């Protein structure tokens, strides 16, 4: 039997497909557009859509394990709930779901509360699953790298409470480990929730200093104005998404974004290596630009 990976062409999903294939797993990559991305040898491309029930039902009919990743869209909750219902219908008892850290705390942020709704379905129906709750991805910084390097300003209003940013490669490695563990187990494993966090707490000011040191010139923090952030984002993204991100940034400023004590140590023990640091990500990003 195979592992079905949804979101297989995205930042996390593509890394998960690569990691599973490298480990010798049978992987089905669920994609909307055939041939959009080149997958490792042996990976089967399955065309469908999370809003198209017949295609999703067919994709789930021949797999043992599901990696469920939903993009942030207006119908994200519907996609996830339909996928999980169809997975139960297909007899799938091995699920890894990509949620978000503090899904239960950022109650006014649409995509956080949406993911918490999915978590509650998993819990209430006793679906054997690993719920991955990642903090802010380091790779999100690529969206503003040109602004940082071109204007000397770090524009993400993450505030001063502290964000334990995590590298997407570490998220994918943990997802692969959990998928393989569940898929290879003789019986469905008990459900577990993992907070995926980086090894350090970052603030707007500390991030600006890291970019300054890496670039050899001053980068300043753009400040905590989430309204200005929304306006800037709305110039290149749908207004609903810009507002969702504004609410998330306000939540980050209020609550921070970090795991419980020992969360990073637990991940490092699972990986058998240190978690990637933001400073190293920045150096890589600059070298690649």
R_g over Cα of the chain: 19
Q: Which two tokens stand for residue 49?
A: 């859509």
Express each pLDDT in 98-151 by its tens digit: 999 999 999 999 999 999 999 999 999 999 999 999 999 999 999 999 999 999
Q: What is the CATH number of domain 2-137+165-196+258-276?
A: 3.40.50.720
Rounded distance between C-alpha atoms, residue 73 and residue 90, angstroms: 25
pTM reported for the whole predicted model? 0.96
Label residue 35 by pLDDT band (50, 70, 90): confident
Residue range 221-250, pLDDT digits in tens: 999 999 999 999 999 999 999 999 999 999
- To 10 degrees, the CA torsion angle through 142, 6, 169, 76? 50
Q: What percent of the chain has pLDDT over 90?
A: 98
Pairwise CA distance, residues 257 & 207, whole Å: 15
Phi and psi angles of residue 120, each rounded to the nearest 5 degrees, phi first: -70, -35
């Amino acid at each position: 039997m195979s592992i079905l990976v949804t979101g297989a062409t995205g930042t996390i999903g593509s890394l998960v497909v690569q990691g599973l294939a490298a480990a010798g797993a049978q992987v089905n990559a669920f994609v909307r557009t055939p041939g959009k991305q080149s997958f490792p040898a042996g990976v089967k491309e399955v065309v469908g859509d999370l809003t198209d029930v017949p295609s999703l039902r067919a994709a789930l009919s021949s797999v043992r394990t599901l990696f469920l990743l939903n993009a942030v869209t207006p119908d994200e909750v519907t996609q996830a709930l339909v996928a999980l219902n169809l997975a139960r219908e297909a007899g799938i008892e091995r699920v890894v779901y990509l949620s978000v850290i503090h899904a239960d705390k950022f109650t006014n942020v649409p995509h956080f509360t949406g993911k918490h709704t999915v978590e509650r379905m998993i819990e209430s129906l006793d679906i054997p699953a690993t719920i991955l709750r990642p903090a802010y991805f380091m790779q999100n910084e690529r969206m503003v790298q040109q602004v940082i390097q071109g204007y000397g300003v770090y524009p993400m209003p993450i505030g001063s409470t502290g964000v334990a940013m995590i590298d997407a490669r570490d998220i994918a490695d943990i997802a692969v480990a959990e998928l393989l563990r569940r898929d290879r187990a003789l019986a469905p494993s008990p459900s577990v929730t993992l907070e995926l966090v980086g090894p350090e707490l970052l603030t707007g000011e500390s991030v600006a200093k890291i970019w300054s040191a890496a670039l050899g010139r001053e980068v300043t923090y753009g400040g905590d104005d989430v309204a200005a952030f929304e306006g800037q984002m709305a110039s290149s993204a749908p207004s609903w998404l810009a507002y969702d991100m504004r609410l998330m940034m306000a939540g980050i400023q209020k609550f921070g974004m970090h795991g419980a004590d020992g969360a990073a140590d637990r991940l490092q023990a699972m990986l058998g290596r240190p978690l990637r640091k933001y400073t190293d990500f920045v150096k890589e990003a600059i070298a690649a630009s």
